[in-house]
């Protein structure tokens, strides 16, 4: 694994309590959409028992000239420091790591199941697919509590409209707690929801990313529906 120096170039809120961090892409840094990096803070002003390193999926696409990471802002020392880190501050990157990347057989569809911030690896894959005009069918099911919790909702709608091979199905599980109007799917992702948008469940490769409980529930749902274990790939975002 290679270590790189990078710098924080910008940050903004992209959903409630959710921040995107723009990092300089170090010279020679190459990755595949879906991979992640370990980010280390250098001499942070405070730390806690969880330490100074966190893993983040890269949400930008390989063709872009920056590295984007996106996270729910919790009250850990790491995130308190990251949230106020002066622009231009150096951070250490290790990676890229992971094999949560799109299969090469473009004839086989991919179904992405994202729970909340689990959207990050799929954002990278979908941006890269749009850039390279992949002929592959992609389905993105994106589950959040409310629209204001769903990072990149608008961008994903636009991306799926531009890429005729990409179906985007956002779903909200707590619209009773939202003041916004919502015409789309409601509730957790389940077999019935998948079947409303796909012609059967067997055949595609399934990719699931999100908190461990969500990943376990999706795996169980898929295997109960007859999807082969070999056709299910997962990335657990521990710490949520």
Q: Which two tokens stand for residue 84?
A: 């106020």
CB of 57 to ligand FAD, least distance (A): 4
Shorter beta-carbon distance to ligand FAD: residue 19 or 172: 19
Nearer to ligand FAD, 20 or 193 (CB): 20
- Using Cβ positions, the residue closest to ligand FAD within the complex turns out to be 238
Smallest separation, CB 228 to ligand FAD (Å)? 23
HSE on the CB side for 25, CA within 13 Å? 16
From residue 128, alpha-carbon distances to 64, 68, 84, 159 in Å are: 9, 14, 30, 11
224 burial (CB, 10 Å; 0-12 / 13-18 / 19+) is: exposed
Least distance between ligand FAD and beta carbon 54 (Å): 4
- Closest separation in Å from C-beta 102 to ligand FAD: 16
Which residue lies nearer to ligand FAD by CB, 57 or 160?
57
* Interface contacts to ligand FAD, rule CB under 6 A: 36, 50, 54-57, 69-72, 74, 76, 78-79, 98, 117, 120, 235, 237-240
For residue 110, what are its two tokens?
Answer: 């991919």
126 and 142 in contact (C-beta within 8 Å)?
A: no
Residue number, 184 or 212, with CB nearest to ligand FAD: 212
Pairing of strands 205-210, 110-115: parallel
């Amino acid at each position: 694994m290679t270590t790189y120096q990078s710098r924080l170039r910008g940050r903004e809120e992209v959903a409630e309590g959710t921040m995107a961090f723009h990092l300089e892409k170090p010279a020679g840094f190459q990755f595949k959409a879906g991979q992640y990096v370990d980010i280390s803070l250098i001499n942070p002003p405070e730390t806690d028992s969880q330490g100074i390193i966190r893993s983040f999926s890269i949400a930008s696409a390989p063709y872009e000239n920056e590295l984007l990471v996106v996270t729910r802002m919790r009250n850990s020392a790491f995130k308190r420091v990251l949230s106020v880190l002066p622009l231009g501050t150096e951070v250490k990157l290790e990676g890229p790591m992971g094999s949560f990347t799109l299969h090469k057989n473009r004839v086989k569809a991919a179904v992405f199941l994202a729970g909340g911030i689990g959207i990050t690896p799929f954002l990278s894959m979908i941006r890269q697919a749009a850039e390279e005009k992949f002929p592959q069918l992609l389905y993105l099911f994106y589950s959040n509590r409310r629209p204001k919790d769903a990072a990149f909702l608008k961008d994903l709608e636009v991306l799926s409209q531009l890429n005729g091979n990409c179906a985007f199905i956002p779903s909200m599980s707590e619209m009773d707690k939202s003041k916004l109007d919502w015409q789309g799917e409601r509730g957790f992702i389940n077999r019935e929801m998948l079947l409303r948008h796909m012609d059967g469940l067997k055949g595609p490769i399934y990719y699931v990313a999100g908190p461990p409980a969500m990943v376990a529930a999706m795996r169980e749902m898929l295997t109960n529906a007859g999807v082969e274990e070999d056709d299910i790939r997962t990335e657990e975002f521990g710490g949520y």
